[in-house]
Structures are given as C-alpha cells and as structure tokens.
Amino acid sequence: MTCLTNRNLLNKLQVNNQRKPKTNNSFEQNRIGLPKSSGLNKSVLLAIVILMASLIQLKGQDPEFSQFYANPLYLNPAFTGTSAITRVITNYRNQWPKQGNTYVTYNISYDKFINSIRSGVGFKMMYDRELNGVINSLGTSFLYSYHIRADDRLTFSMALEAGFIYKQFNTAGLIFPGMIDQGTGTITGNYPLPFEGGQKIFPDFSFGVAGQIDDVSCGIAIHHLTQPDQSIIEGDQVGSLPLKITAHAGAVGHQFHRGLLSREFTLSPNFVYRQQGSFKQVNVGMYTKEDWLTFGLWYRHNLSKRPDALIAMVGVQKSKFQFGYSFDFSLSGVAAYSYGSHEISMVLYFGEYRRRQFNNAMVIPQM
C-alpha cells in the first residue's frame, strides 16, 4: 500500500511506540488515541503523528458504527422512508475509551415516507471527534428515495444523498519538532505549518439501492461519489476522500419455543461488506428477537488480515420506542490498550400505523 490513511498511520506509529504488536488496518483498529504528552519523547511523537497523518496525507476514512441497522440512513441511503411511520434516530459511539474521549461520534437522522409520491425523504447530521478534538468533522445531508413495488413479493428503493462535510483541524497546543530546542529540550516559539487554513468545507454525494423479496433483503450503497478533496494543504494531490462501497444482505425466519411457554421468536442472519480505499471488511451476524427483547452477535473480520472483533448487542423494542446497546470486543493485540468500543442507539417513532395502498416498509433488523 503506497499511501496510509491518517487513522491507520496513527495506529501504526502509536502501537510501535508502546511496544505492542502491530495492529490491523481496519475500521476498528485504525482509530487509536495519542498518549498524554508528559515528556520530550512523547511530545516529538505527537508532533510527528499529527504532522504526517493529519496534514501531509489526509486520505480519510469514515467512522464506523457496529449497530448497522440502528443507523439505516448511514448504512444505505435507500433505507430512507422504509419505516412504516416517521422515525427519529440518535446514535452515539465511543471508540477505545481507555484513552479518554479519543474517538467519539454522534449521529442524528430523520426520515419519513410520503405515500402520495411513493417516496422517502430524510435528513442526517453526524459529528465525529478524533484525537481528543484535534480533528473534528460535521456532516449534514438530505436524502431522497423512490420506492417501487414490482409485485406482492418484490419491493425495492433507489436513493440519492447530497450534503456538505465541514472539517476543522485544531493544532493549538500541539508540539512540533521545530519548536523544541535541541540543546536544552525546552519548548520555544512557533512552528510554521503549510496550511490553507485550519478548516475546510466540501460537498459530498452518495447513492444507494435496496430491495426485498419475501423475507430476504439486500442492498448496495456507494458513498463519496465525487471523491472530494478534504486536504487543508495547498496543492496536495492525495487528499481525496475514497469511495466507500457497502453491500448488505439479510433474512428473517420465525420459529417457536416448545412446551408450555410456547412463544414465537425471530432469527435474522445478516451480512455486511465494506470497502473504502484499500480497506476491506466483512461482518456476519445473527439477531434473535422475542417479543420486545432483542439480542445480537456479530463477527468482524478484515480481509487479508486477522480477526478484528466480536460485537455483542442487546436492545428493547416497543411500538414507538427502541433502545440498543452494543460493545465491541477486540480480537487483536490492542485489546488491553483499547478497552473495546461502546455504542448506544435510540429510535423514536411518530404517527399512527395505517393500512396503506402502497407498502413501503422493509423487513430488516432494528439494530
């Protein structure tokens, strides 16, 4: 690989410094925290990491959510309007909390189906905070989907997403090698940086399609269609945001308990594949739902690399409310360093369930 992303480079430099095994190039393990600057060596490391990763080769990578279907508009724009009634979704993820709030992501979305035009409309906003606030991103977008019902068994939707991403780089308080007196080790002066400025805003577009036949659903989404330039360095030729391709599929089956307490429960196997630049990742999992309680277990693997993580989920689902919690157990050599990742989702539904001439709802998991 000729070019490392900013998160993957941080991962490689930081792990080597801490004498830990080299980590995977993955959505989970390329997000890593910096140590607190308590001495000259750490100060120099901090400067090298930030300068090389965030400023010279800013070839970024999208944040990752483990509760894929609890953030459906982020997974695939084609899920816009696929709920039977209007919904508002909030998501929170704290990745590798042992190092403080090193990587924290917030997301909120709204979508509804308009029966008269057989279309879904939505809005999504996400805030991502990296390296304890050194890199901050705010993305907003509007989504539109058109739903087609081919027959009683087959339905599908196509969607387009358009918006803007604002990136802000906060270098205040960072220590660069040029600021350190080599004789005394004291920190003096300022270090000139090759910035256009400490912030950048750029447009972003995505496309998705999803379909369902009976109880089987699948879809594909392509994000960052124009591969926008997100570098803050004037003349940088490697600062484009790579395409992200997501493919997903799943099914729903019904079974029953035996004996006196015979109650129906649902099993739902699912598959999610993601690729962005040179990163390739496969997720396979199973949901079990009985009445209002849902459990999920996923396995994440980085292709051509070692296993990445196990994801355990538990959730509560009511007619107008849904809450989910998940934890990522790292399977790599950085498990003791990272303390996994925590994720919380909450969904609120508004309106009344009514019999419609056009059925837009898809049978997909809710977490």
pLDDT of 53 above 90: no
Nearest to 185 by CA among 68, 44, 320: 44
pLDDT at residue 121, as a whole number: 96
Task: Look at 24-38, 190-204, 251-265, 309-323 and tell me which has the smallest mean pLDDT.
Answer: 24-38
- Distance of alpha carbon 209 from alpha carbon 278, whole angstroms: 23
pLDDT of 117 above 70: yes
In a domain, 211, yes or no: yes
pLDDT at residue 180, as a whole number: 77
pLDDT in tens, 135-153: 899 999 999 999 998 888 8
- Mean pLDDT over residues 297-303, rounded? 91
Find out whether 113 and 83 touch, Cβ atoms under 8 Å: yes
Nearest to 19 by CA among 233, 337, 291, 366: 337
Nearest to 164 by CA among 109, 124, 220, 117: 124
Which of the residue ranges 104-118, 194-208, 340-354 has the most confident prediction, judged by mean pLDDT?
Answer: 104-118
In a domain, 1, yes or no: no
In a domain, 197, yes or no: yes
pLDDT > 90: percent of the chain: 41
In a domain, 361, yes or no: no
Q: How confident is the model at residue 99 (pLDDT cuts 50, 70, 90)?
A: low
In a domain, 31, yes or no: yes
Residue appearing with tokens 């998501």: 91
Which of the residue ranges 41-50, 95-104, 221-230, 354-363 has the most confident prediction, judged by mean pLDDT?
Answer: 221-230
pLDDT of 37 above 50: no
pLDDT of 35 above 60: no
Which one is predicted more confidently, 102 or 37?
Answer: 102
In a domain, 365, yes or no: no
In a domain, 17, yes or no: yes
pLDDT at residue 44, as a whole number: 46
- Mean pLDDT over residues 337-356, rounded? 83
pLDDT at residue 333, as a whole number: 67
Range of the domain at 312: 6-350
pLDDT at residue 92, as a whole number: 96
- Mean pLDDT over residues 21-36, rounded? 36
User: Per the structure block, which two tokens stand in for 132?
Assistant: 């304890």
pLDDT in tens, 255-274: 666 555 566 778 889 999 99
pLDDT at residue 5, as a whole number: 39
Find out whether 235 and 253 touch, Cβ atoms under 8 Å: no
pLDDT of 294 above 60: yes
Neighbours of 209 (CB within 10 A): 17
pLDDT at residue 195, as a whole number: 59
As for how many domains the chain has, the answer is 1
Nearest to 63 by CA among 97, 99, 113, 27: 27
- Mean pLDDT over residues 340-352, rounded? 91
In a domain, 363, yes or no: no
pLDDT of 98 above 80: no
pLDDT in tens, 171-228: 776 777 777 777 777 777 666 666 545 788 999 999 999 999 988 999 999 999 999 9
pLDDT at residue 209, as a whole number: 96
Which one is predicted more confidently, 193 or 125?
Answer: 125
Which one is predicted more confidently, 283 or 12?
Answer: 283
Dump the DSSP string for 39-88: SHHHHHHHHHHIIIIIII---------S-GGGSHHHH-GGGTT-SSSEEE
User: Per the structure block, which two tokens stand in for 272?
Assistant: 């999610």
Average pLDDT value for the chain: 78
pLDDT at residue 353, as a whole number: 75
- Distance of alpha carbon 255 from alpha carbon 258, whole angstroms: 10
Nearest to 73 by CA among 230, 225, 165, 206: 206
pLDDT in tens, 327-337: 998 887 666 66
Residue 70 is part of a domain; what is its CATH number?
2.40.160.40
pLDDT at residue 28, as a whole number: 37
